[in-house]
């Protein structure tokens, strides 16, 4: 078991997929880790909190919808109240939807933005307020995507929400640097999670493909020749959450096996 760092992390969208892997990795690094997801995911979320505790660190499980301001503020206060502080915020929760832009309704667009862009904004700002009041700096980390660097066909409104995360990461890094807070985001490529199962199914429905075919077509774009695991993302987030990344801020970094080269 890792020695405790004395730092408290909060990971949103942590009941499964990338968020779960990040929570477990941060726990293995010795941080206390609170986990969040929607109320409908409470069973899975509580199981992740138990896995976190089995690393020998403390945990808390808080259900909240990250698109709702009161819920996000309540979540941050409850984590800081229960675990003593908030030092590392990972705004990971997100949704995806495959649709040609001409079929995206205003409601589809607003929901995408509400979770992926406003959710990150609310988590970033609630965490920053708490960290500023604590006076000991902090690490704020957001979920971006390769789709935050390039607008993907059929993922137009999703891509727009991830460009928003990249812009907020840059602005927040400048505004909060004086408080010792760094702000960075991770940009995965094609990660084997429930989100990509949904994308594969929705592209398949649009293009008449069998299950798994859309994912294998996209996988041909990956230089390293394999689809990404949630743990591939979590190891980079571990670095972003650690003092090793103290001189890095405002970056949205591709961790995609070599799809986009910048
Ligand atoms: N899977 C992939 O290939 C990629 C994923 N990403 C991003 O990584 C993040 C995590 O993705 P995955 O683990 O693949 O997705 P996932 O769909 O497997 O897990 C997302 C989690 O977020 C939760 N969630 C959704 N809306 C929420 C809300 N309003 N409030 C709180 N929790 C909410 C879900 O219940 C779920 O547990 C997302 O932001 C996604 O956009 C970025 C690039 C690639
Ligand atoms: C889900 C996602 O961000 C991509 C680009 O696949």
Report how far ligand 1's centroid is from the alpha carbon of 109 (Å): 17
Q: What does residue 8 show for φ and ψ, rounded to 5 degrees? A: -115, 125
> pLDDT-derived band of residue 116, with 50, 70 and 90 as boundaries?
very high
pLDDT of residue 82: 98
Spans of all domains in the chain = 8-189+229-255
Half-sphere exposure of 192 (CA within 13 A, CB side): 10
The region that residue 59 occupies, defined by phi over 0 for left and psi between -120 and 50 for alpha, beta otherwise, is beta
Q: For residue 50, how many other CB atoms are within 10 A of its CB?
A: 11
Selection from 194, 158, 209 nearest residue 218 by Cα: 209
Closest ligand by atom to 255 CA: 1
User: Under a CB-based contact definition with an 8 Å cutoff, are residues 255 and 188 in contact?
Assistant: yes
Q: How high is the mean pLDDT of the chain?
A: 98
User: Under a CB-based contact definition with an 8 Å cutoff, are residues 136 and 180 in contact?
Assistant: yes
Q: What percentage of residues in the chain have a pLDDT greater than 70?
A: 100
Residue 57 is labelled as binding a ligand? no
Provide ipTM, 2 decimals. Answer: 0.99
Whether CATH 3.40.50.360 fits 8-189+229-255: no
Give residue-wise pLDDT tens across range 155-185.
999 999 999 999 999 999 999 999 999 999 9
CA distance 61 to 33: 9
Give residue-wise pLDDT tens across range 86-98.
999 999 999 999 9
pLDDT of residue 169: 99
Q: Any idea how long the chain is?
A: 262
Residue 63 is labelled as binding a ligand? no
Selection from 228, 218, 220 nearest residue 192 by Cα: 228
Give residue-wise pLDDT tens across range 50-85.
999 999 999 999 999 999 999 999 999 999 999 999
Q: Whose CA is nearest to atom 7 of ligand 1?
A: 143
3-state secondary structure of 101: helix
């Amino acid at each position: 078991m890792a020695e405790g760092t004395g730092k408290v992390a909060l990971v949103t969208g942590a009941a499964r997929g990338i968020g779960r892997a990040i929570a477990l990795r941060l726990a293995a690094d010795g941080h206390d880790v609170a986990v969040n997801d929607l109320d409908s995911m409470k069973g899975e979320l509580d199981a992740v909190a138990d896995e976190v505790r089995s690393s020998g660190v403390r945990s808390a499980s808080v259900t909240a919808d990250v698109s709702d301001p009161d819920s996000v503020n309540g979540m941050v206060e409850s984590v800081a109240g229960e675990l003593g502080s908030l030092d590392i915020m990972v705004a990971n929760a997100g949704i995806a939807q495959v649709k040609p832009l001409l079929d995206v309704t205003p409601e589809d667009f607003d929901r995408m933005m509400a979770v992926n862009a406003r959710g990150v904004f609310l988590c970033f700002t609630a965490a920053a307020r708490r960290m500023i009041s604590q006076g000991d700096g902090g690490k704020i980390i957001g979920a971006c995507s390769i789709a935050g660097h390039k607008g993907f066909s059929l993922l137009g409104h999703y891509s727009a929400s991830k460009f928003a995360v990249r812009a907020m990461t840059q602005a927040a890094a400048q505004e909060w640097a004086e408080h010792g807070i760094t702000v960075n985001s991770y940009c995965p490529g094609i990660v084997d999670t429930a989100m990509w199962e949904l994308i594969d199914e929705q592209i398949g429905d649009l293009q008449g493909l069998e299950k798994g075919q859309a994912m294998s077509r996209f996988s041909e774009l990956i230089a390293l020749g394999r689809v990404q695991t949630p743990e591939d993302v979590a190891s980079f987030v571990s670095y972003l959450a650690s003092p090793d990344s103290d001189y890095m801020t405002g970056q949205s970094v591709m961790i995609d096996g070599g799809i986009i080269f910048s």
